[in-house]
Each structure stands twice: as structure tokens, then as C-alpha cells.
Amino acid sequence: MKQRAPKFQSCNVLDAASGVRRLWQFAVGKDSLRPTGDLQLQSGQTLPAKAVARGWQSLISPRLDLAWLPAENVFVRAIQLPSGDPAELPGMVEFQLEKISPLPVTHIVWTAEGVPHPGGAGQTALVTIAPRERVEAQLRELSAAGFTADGFDVALLRELRGARPDADGVWVFVDAQATTTSALVGWFVGGIWQDVSLFQLPAGAPAVTTLVACLNQVAWSGELDGWLTQLPPVQLRIRPEEAEAFVAALQEWSGQPVRADCRADRSVLAAVSARARLLANPTALVPEEVTAKERAAFVDRVWMRGLGGLFVTYLFAVFIYLGFLNWKKYQLDELKGNAVGLGRQYTNTIQLKEQVAVLQEQIGLKYAALDAWLAAVEALPSSMTLTQFDFRKGTTLDLTGSVPSENQADVTAYTKKLQEAKSNDQALFAKVAVVRVDATRAGVAGGAVWNVNAELRKVEAP
């Protein structure tokens, strides 16, 4: 194969002509063709989708799908043309197509490949012709089996192209089936393929007689055209179990020994077909409009599958999102329920705290009153008399009493002692002040009424 980056990354070759379908798979490299699979299936068995289905992967890694046309649906012709650029070969063949085609050109599909003459003086164009309706029917049949053929090939023609004759000879390739027998006959005379024809023979014994009659017709035509002067030896390619009758008849016809060999292995022919179509004309024998329609349908399928996959992915993402939202909603509801329960607990705790604070305050006031009473009594001089002891707002101690006029200075000393009074090693009063000392309101002559306010520093339960 040529040293170039391959257009196709893989290739399938399907033999659907016989009762048993066989699919060969190849990996295509720059200069190699590596077998990767060989599947054999019964005619009613569906081809594995993994091997033949086309998806978006085909856009990234293109694959060439080839199929072998049944020999009974094909005509092969050989025409001699001047040498030239291979790209010009179809145009040169088209000028002679009406002459060599057994059907109107509007009812056929065709392909051609050139075989250069020795010395480059000219070339032989091997033209393969197939009825258009037969090709379209084959495409529909293969499509129903899940196989989309990009191009067709003929196994017998590949076998002929694989022959390397070094002398004149008649090369006969016989393919016997249950109901029909096909024979591809190539006349190699003067170093070129002078004639190549594909004959359809009846099954069984009459096939030999019919083949000899066809050979006689080509020989007479060759004598008239001047390229055949005597019958060359026969090279026969046939299955061993069918060789005896053909060898005897061909020896009698040619008057020379017949060299009979086994036909080439079909796996080898599949690789040859793949190489031939990868290098030139991958869409051989498939109508252009069918190829364009299939390509458009493939692109549409890829788009629809892509959009379908995107839609399914979107739905999946939506379902996941909705599930996530429901899960978060469940968590939120659970948190709200917990929050309500905690709120009730918090409210109850605050109420209990406030009740405890009230009780502590009451207890503190109780002990504060006792401490204040004790401090007021202990600090009271003997010259002073305490007549009234009041708590105002629970924080202020109001002391009222009387004192003789000559002992009024004891009131000041009394306030100092109250200021220094302690409870639990802490000052009992934050502030102590004499409100008044009034002699005019004394209850007895020569006495005075005094009034002292003391503000508690802190009220705590012991």
C-alpha cells in the first residue's frame, strides 16, 4: 500500500453471495492491513451490530464497508486503451461503454481498473458492469441485515488480478455454487490480458460443456481480431473435488496438459479486495445518488441520536436535580422541625432561666437584707437609735433613727462604718450617704432625727 495517511481507519468485507455469510474485519495502517476479525454467520442470522453499525464514532474513525457481489449479477469486459493518468481511465472507458455493455447504460453501474502493458505502451481496462436494479436490490438486502455497503467488489476478479502469468495462457477460475456455476476466463496472450469474460454456467455436468462452448466463441473472436494464433495452455483454479471433469474437458479442448490448482483462500481475497478499494474507488458499483442519500441519512441519524442522547442526558440531569431538590427540601423540613423543637426548648429554657433569676434575686435580696440588717445593727453606736429599716427597689437601704444633739457626730462615724462593712470579703455597700440630721423634728427635747441611705453593691445568694 502507498505511504500515506489512510482515509479509513478500518475496513469490513462481507461475503453474502453464498449460503453462509462471512465478515472479515481489518485495521488499516499507513502501509499495512491487519486482520482483526473473521465472523461466519448463517444466511438468516443478523450481523452483529457492534461490527457493522455506524454511529458518531464513524465520524472520528471512518470505516469502509465492502461487500462481494454474486458473480451471476456481474459482467466483466476487457478493453485495450492507450496508457495515461489513472484519473482519466473512467472517461476513456465511458466512450466505449455502450459498445461493451450488455444493457443500456442508464440501467447499469460500472467500474474499471487499469492493467498496464509491458513497456507502458498501453493498458488493459478491466470493466465490471452490474445491472442497476440488481445492485439496488442487493443494497436493500444488506441494509435489512444491518450492513451498509460503501462499495462492491467481485471475488473472482480479485483472484484474476492476483494471478501473475509469465507466459501465454488461458486462466480459468471456477466458482461452483448449489444452483449455478460461475467461470471467469482471462486470455493472457502477448504479455497482456487480451480478453476477460465472466460466464454463467448451469449447475452440475452441463457446466463443463457450456464452458468449452464459451471458450470456443472467445477463441474464434480472438482469431478474427488477430491476437490469437493458437490455443495456449490452460491454468485452472477450482476446488479439488470439482476438478476432474473440468480438467478432462479442458485438456481435450486445448490438446495440452491442464495445470489445476486450488482457488485462493477467501480470507486472502478479502484482504486483496480491501487493499484495492482503499487505494482507489471505495464506492465502486454503488450509484452516486445512493451513496449521497446514505451519507445524508447517516448524518441525520448521527444528529438525531446526538440530540436524542442530549435530550436523555437533559432529562436525566433534570431528574437528578429534582431528586437533589427533594432531598434538600427533606433536609430543610427536618431542620425546620428541629428548629421548632429547639425554639420551644429555648423558650422553655429562657423561662426557666428567668424563673431561676427571679428566685436567685429573691434569695439574694433575702440574704442582702439580712447582711444589711446585720451590718446596720453592728455598726450602730450606742448613742444612736434605729427606728426604721426599709429596702427601696431591692437595692437601696433606708435607715432612719434618732440621736441626742450632743452625739450628732456619731451619725457620720456610723456612715463610715457602713461604707466599710463587708460580706464574703466584698464591700457590702457601693455608696453610703447621710440624707439629713434634723433636730427640729426630734421626738424628744434635746434630740435629732437622722436618715442614712446605703446603696447595695451587689445582691447575690450566698
251 and 323 share one domain? no
188 and 332 share one domain? no
440: pLDDT strictly greater than 80: no
Q: What is the pLDDT of residues 122-163, one digit of tens each?
A: 999 999 999 999 999 999 988 888 888 999 999 999 999 989
Phi, psi of 236 (to 5 degrees): -105, 130
Average pLDDT on 281-285 reads 88
Q: What is the pLDDT at residue 434?
A: 80
80 occurs within a structural domain: yes
Percent of the chain surpassing pLDDT 70:
95
39 occurs within a structural domain: yes
Question: What are the CA-CA distances from residue 285 to residues 8, 138, 145, 254 (Å)?
Answer: 19, 11, 19, 35
69: pLDDT strictly greater than 60: yes
- Number of structural domains (the chain) is 2
39 and 173 share one domain? yes
Q: What is the pLDDT at residue 198?
A: 94
Quote the DSSP letter at residue 166: S
Q: How high is the mean pLDDT of the chain?
A: 86
3-state secondary structure 52-88: HCCCCHHHHCCEEEEEECCHHHCEEEEEEEECCCHHH
Find, among 1, 3, 15, 56, the residue nearest to 267 by Cα: 15
293 occurs within a structural domain: no
294 occurs within a structural domain: no
Helix (H, G, I), strand (E, B) or coil at 211: helix
322 and 440 share one domain? yes
367 and 279 share one domain? no
Q: What is the pLDDT at residue 459?
A: 53
340 occurs within a structural domain: yes
338 and 245 share one domain? no
335 and 274 share one domain? no
Q: What is the pLDDT of residues 211-234, one digit of tens each?
A: 999 999 999 999 999 999 999 999
116 and 39 share one domain? yes
Q: What is the pLDDT at residue 123?
A: 94
Greater model confidence, 319 or 121: 319
296 occurs within a structural domain: no
300 occurs within a structural domain: no
Quote the DSSP letter at residue 102: S
Mode of pairing for the β-strands spanning 426-427 and 422-423: antiparallel
* N- to C-terminal Cα separation, the chain: 108
Top mean-pLDDT range of 121-130, 197-206, 336-345, 429-438: 121-130
Count other C-beta atoms under 10 Å from residue 8's C-beta: 18
4 band by pLDDT with thresholds 50, 70 and 90 = very low
Average pLDDT on 374-382 reads 82
Torsion-angle region of 300 (φ positive above 0: left; ψ -120 to 50: alpha; else: beta): alpha
318 and 439 share one domain? yes
Average pLDDT on 382-405 reads 82
Helical (H) or strand (E) element with 377: helix 288-379
Residue pair 80/226 in contact by the 8 Å Cβ criterion:
no
Taken in order 320, 321, 324, 325, the sign of the CA dihedral is negative
Residue pair 31/1 in contact by the 8 Å Cβ criterion:
yes
Q: What is the CA radius of gyration of the chain?
A: 59
Find, among 348, 355, 196, 266, the residue nearest to 40 by Cα: 266
Q: Which residue range is the domain that position 458 belongs to?
A: 308-462
Q: What is the pLDDT at residue 104?
A: 93
Q: What is the pLDDT of residues 399-439, one digit of tens each?
A: 888 888 888 888 888 888 888 888 777 887 888 888 788 77
Choosing from 286, 318, 343, the residue where a domain stops is 286
Count other C-beta atoms under 10 Å from residue 74's C-beta: 24
99 and 157 share one domain? yes
34 and 92 share one domain? yes
Helix (H, G, I), strand (E, B) or coil at 286: coil
335 and 402 share one domain? yes
Answer whether 0.85 is exceeded by the pTM: no
Greater model confidence, 440 or 255: 255
416 occurs within a structural domain: yes
